[in-house]
Chain A
Amino acid sequence: MENPAVILSLPLILIVVMSLMKMAKKKRSDGKPWFRIEKVEENE
């Protein structure tokens, strides 16, 4: 069996990823998400 601590930390990583995804989708009061990924134009 692999290191049990590594196996037990997998659900925690899953919770963190799902939480971050939820926060990314959540809109702020001004209607914009609190962070977003967008393409950076040349010479921007």
Chain B
Amino acid sequence: MRSGNPALQSSAFTKHLSAVTEGTMTLSGTVNKTGIGLLLIILSAGYTWGNPGMHGMVIPAVIGGLILAMVTIFKPTLGHITVPMYAVVEGIVLGVISMIFEQMYPGIVIQAIFLTFGTLGALLLAYKSGLIKATENFKLGVVAATGGIAILYVINMIMGFFGSSIGVIHSNGMMGILFSGFVVVIAALNLVLDFDFIEEGVEMGAPKYMEWYGAFGLLVTLIWLYLEILRLLAKLQSRR
């Protein structure tokens, strides 16, 4: 596995190399498609933010997002349809979550957006400069940590069905803040794996439709990073 993101595995390229029909994957094409995805998320979130009637759409949007993510992972050739749709439904979810946090802690959303894009820019610079290299050990570490966090979240979700939860995930105590800080760092390091995945795809001459797949991976990581930063900021602000 080349990335902590389960959607981004190196085998994803080799499986589709023979299907080259409309040119190959390019960096600019992937950047453009990521930009389209981000724009759709922002438009959709903005619409949901301004229309409280849309709040009932959260559960269908979460389920729809999960289905669209699965279709994108198992059928990347449909990425040009599923990825923009995924961006729209995730925008609905992010719009509602952001509004709830904003009502509790005014100004928190703009701070989280600034920090998310700041992290993206800083890590892109660190990756391009060679300060952070996606070595095999680095990838292994990030994948293991991401897997550990995922298992913890699944256990927490199952415990939630029985009215219980893992305290450290929601606590605003020192351990809770350290845990959230750790999760933010791991989510941010997943961006480096995404950059590496995209660069590798371009170098290997992956088919054009893999641009949507690379953009999808980046969007998934950015959404996760944004939500974790939002949670960390909320924990810190609740202590003030």
Contacts and interface: CB of A to CB of B under 8 A. Distances in A.
A37 interface: no
Contacts, number: 52
Give the bracket for the number of chain B residues in contact with chain A: 20 to 34
Contacts of A1: 236, 239-240
Interface residues of A, number: 17
B135 interface: no
Given A1-B236, A5-B233, A23 B129 contact: yes
With most chain B CB atoms within 10 A of its CB, the pick from A9, A19, A22 is A19
B114 interface: yes
Contact of A20 (B115, B119, B125): B125
Contact of A15 (B114, B123, B239): B123
B112 to A, nearest CB: 8
SS class of chain B's interface: helix, strand, loop or mixed? helix
Contact of B122 (A5, A16, A26): A16
Interface string B110-137: 0100110011011101101111000000
A8 B232 contact: yes
A5 B240 contact: no
B171 interface: no
Interface string B122-158: 1101101111000000000000000000000000000
